[in-house]
Amino acid sequence: MAQVIDGRAIAQSIHKEIAHDVSYLSNKCGKVPGLAVVIVGERKDSQTYVRMKRKACAEVGMKSIDVDLPGDAPEEKVLNAVLDLNANPQVHGISVQLPLPPHINEEKVLSAISIEKDVDGFHPLNIGKLAMKGREPLFVPCTPKGCIELLQRSGVSISRKRAVVVGRSNIEGLPAALLLIRLDATVTIVHSKTPDPKSIISKADIIIASLGQANMIKGDWIKPGAAVIDVGTNAVDDLTRNSGYRLVGDVAFEEVKEVAGWITPVPGGIGPMIVAMLLRNTVDGVKRACDCKSSKLHEETS
Ligand SMILES: Nc1nc2c(c(=O)[nH]1)N[C@@H](CN(C=O)c1ccc(C(=O)N[C@@H](CCC(=O)O)C(=O)O)cc1)CN2
């Protein structure tokens, strides 16, 4: 029976670490880390995530700068909002909530964010550096960074392990694979066109599932003892709920739990870590800018 990794509890302890750093930066360096979250449109799921990001900022003592634009805002308006935030000294990080409405060129908007404030790590320069040996990105995307944090804080070793990433999206699958390679795992990416995914997944010590297909990965696809991180968030009909739906992952949780060594639930696994990593990236950016080393932060505040 797998150990269920509690993403909410791990994210909460990271929030405490961040609050510690924020207090030091505010009191000793006179810098209150500021995160700008930009939302374009009224998608319900995006509004939920944006609310969570803003609430988390308040909880750890960070400043939240809110930019809410209507769904029909022209691209130029979104680009101008980003340029204003780039120039605002109170803003240390900018998160433009994805997906953007279809009339807006996502690449253009993400490329307009100053790389020093690209706390989502989506700027092509940051992704490019993540992909290159010997180069260090300023920021790593939050979902894959959260996956690694969950593995490491649960005692799962990564080096020399066989890892399979299911999905190849720019913000999840692809950067997750790049991070695992940096940590010396041997990595295979399985995607929607891969023949016989089961035969590949069943050899993995570590699985990061991010394809967006409800309950796709079954118990008999899993090597006994493997670590399974479920990044899928799929809404399935559930008439017993007031909302009429519930969230499930890409992994058939109940059956995989019987075989795996570690597993994350949905909800309550990677989700809360995405927000925690965004705050972590923002605070780390401020530390880098004012040359406050984290060891010094912990020494002086503990
Ligand atoms: N600019 C960005 N856009 C998007 C990102 C991102 O990292 N940056 N990732 C996702 C959305 N996302 C954050 O933005 C996100 C997704 C899920 C959660 C979360 O905590 N989920 C909960 C369930 C919440 C619910 O009940 O609906 C969980 O899994 O426990 C947080 C953030 C795409 N866009």
- Which two structure tokens, joined as six digits, stand for 129? 């550096």
Instruction: Find the CATH number of the domain harbouring 235.
Output: 3.40.50.720
Model pTM above 0.90: yes
Residue 23 domain flag = no
Atom of ligand 1 nearest to the CA of 266: 29
- Which two structure tokens, joined as six digits, stand for 176? 């997750």
Q: What is the pLDDT of residue 297?
A: 56
Residue 129 domain flag = no
Q: What is the pLDDT of residue 121?
A: 98
How many independent structural domains does the chain possess? 2
263 Cβ inside 6 Å of ligand 1 = no
Residue 6 domain flag = no
Instruction: Find the CATH number of the domain harbouring 42.
Output: 3.40.50.10860
Q: Give every residue of the chain whose pLDDT is below 70, as ranges.
A: 292-302
Residue 89 domain flag = yes
Whether the bond into 267 is cis, omega within 30 of 0: yes
Interface TM-score (ipTM) > 0.85: yes
Q: CA dist 72 to 2, 40, 42, 102, 103, Å? A: 46, 8, 10, 10, 8
Q: What is the pLDDT of residue 290?
A: 85
Residue 19 domain flag = no
CA–CA gap between residue 272 and residue 276 (Å, rounded): 7
Let me know whether 174 and 96 are in one domain: no
Q: What is the pLDDT of residue 285?
A: 97
Tokens 């870590």 label which residue? Answer: 273
Catalytic residues: 53, 97, 120
Q: What is the pLDDT of residue 295?
A: 47
Let me know whether 155 and 260 are in one domain: yes
Q: What is the pLDDT of residue 244?
A: 95
98 Cβ inside 6 Å of ligand 1 = yes
Let me know whether 70 and 177 are in one domain: no
186 Cβ inside 6 Å of ligand 1 = no
HSE of 236, CA atoms in CB hemisphere, 13 A = 14
CA–CA gap between residue 65 and residue 70 (Å, rounded): 17
Output the residue whose Cα is nearest ligand 1's atom 10. 98
Let me know whether 163 and 94 are in one domain: no
300 CA to middle of ligand 1, Å? Answer: 33
Q: Which tens digit of pLDDT belongs to each residue from 231-242?
A: 999 999 999 999
Q: Which domain holds residue 159?
A: 142-271
154 CA to middle of ligand 1, Å? Answer: 21
Q: Which tens digit of pLDDT belongs to each residue from 253-292?
A: 999 999 999 999 999 999 999 999 999 999 999 999 887 6
